[in-house]
Amino acid sequence: MNVLVFMLFACAFNLMLGFGGLLSFGHAAFFGSAAYVTGHAAKEWGLTFELAVACGVLVSLVLGWVFALIAVRSKGIYFAMITLALSQMIYYIALQAPFTGGEDGIQSIPRPPVFGVIDVSSNLALFYTILVVFTIAMLALVRISQSAFGQSLKAIRDNEDRAISLGYDVVKYKQMAFVISAGFSGIAGSLKVFVFSIATLTDVSWLLSGEVVLMALLGGLGIIWAPALGALIVVAMQYLLAPYGAWVTILQGLIFMSCVLLFREGIVGMIRDLLNRRRAKPGTSPH
């Protein structure tokens, strides 16, 4: 279940970086804010599963809109630093706000029934529920990436000046990409709460923002589903190397550097290029 959550988070992030060319170091703000609000709604307000998730996603959409208004007119490292600064503000709000539980977070979050009738208290039932939500969300992301909007984002990413000369409202497209990406990140954060029954400061930390960048780069950019592979590898690595403590972080750093220096198109991009080169080899034809 944890893997599905981070697969969705990484693919949502890819809509911004892979398609819009916008490197955000603050995406944990959307993931974590949705987690906190969903957890609070389920535990304190007694809302059903889907309503609690809807509350969390709504907050992430609003935050995405606010972040977009402030950040999208900047470019490159300035954009990245602004998103990081805004995300840190959300982190300190989560630390100090009375309903977040401070350093302890929101614990013992219940698993309310879906639509008030479908029991998801067992891990198997929750897995199938998350799988359904994940599948729908991924199909939506694929559809968005293949739509005219997704292709316009690619055009802006590849040559922003040319896109402006063709009449594209570049700022508007970037804002829309930011908000949509934030919303899908919020879905992932909301689902995470029910997997672990807790929302903590880790969910809004800059470390998580860095991890999702690693997942996207490792899987590959520009193919909407490719970061799912990166998420699978990172989560599996964290699980398998958990007994080694800080070595996990060191290994993640080495993988990040390798991706930047050697595999700039990620694993999926590398496999695609190998297959294309194999197809392009001239074959022998009979005379």
Q: What residues have CB less than 8 Å from 31, skipping those under 6 apart?
A: 9, 60, 185, 186, 188, 189, 192, 203, 204, 208, 212
Specify if 287 maps to a domain.
no
Helix 227-240 and helix 247-261, axial crossing angle in degrees, nearest 10: 150
Question: How confident is the prediction for the chain on average, in pLDDT?
Answer: 90
pLDDT at 267: 83
Specify if 56 maps to a domain.
yes
SS (H, E, C) 137-206: HHHHHHHHHHCHHHHHHHHHHHCHHHHHHCCCCHHHHHHHHHHHHHHHHHHHHHHHHHHHCCECHHHHCH
Specify if 24 maps to a domain.
yes
Q: What tokens appear for 81 in the block?
A: 């630093």
Predicted confidence (pLDDT) at residue 242 exceeds the cutoff of 90? no
Domain count, the chain: 1
pLDDT at 282: 60
Specify if 285 maps to a domain.
no
Read off the pLDDT of residues 22-31 as tens digits, 9 standing for 90 and up: 999 999 999 9
pLDDT at 280: 76
Q: How far apart are CA 231 and CA 226, in angstroms?
A: 9
pLDDT at 272: 81
Average pLDDT over residues 117-140: 95
Residue of 69, 67, 42 lying closest to 54 (CA atoms): 42
Specify if 27 maps to a domain.
yes
Within 10 angstroms of residue 177's Cβ, the number of other Cβ atoms is 27
CATH of the domain at 103: 1.10.3470
Specify if 165 maps to a domain.
yes
What's the pTM? 0.91
Read off the pLDDT of residues 215-235 as tens digits, 9 standing for 90 and up: 998 898 888 999 999 999 889
Average pLDDT over residues 153-177: 92
Classify residue 274 as exposed, middle or buried by CB count within 10 Å of its CB (0-12, 13-18, 19+). Answer: exposed
Q: Are 189 and 56 in contact (CB under 8 A)?
A: yes
**Percentage above 70 pLDDT, the chain:** 97
Domain range holding 80?
Answer: 2-280
Q: Are 38 and 190 in contact (CB under 8 A)?
A: yes
pLDDT at 268: 85
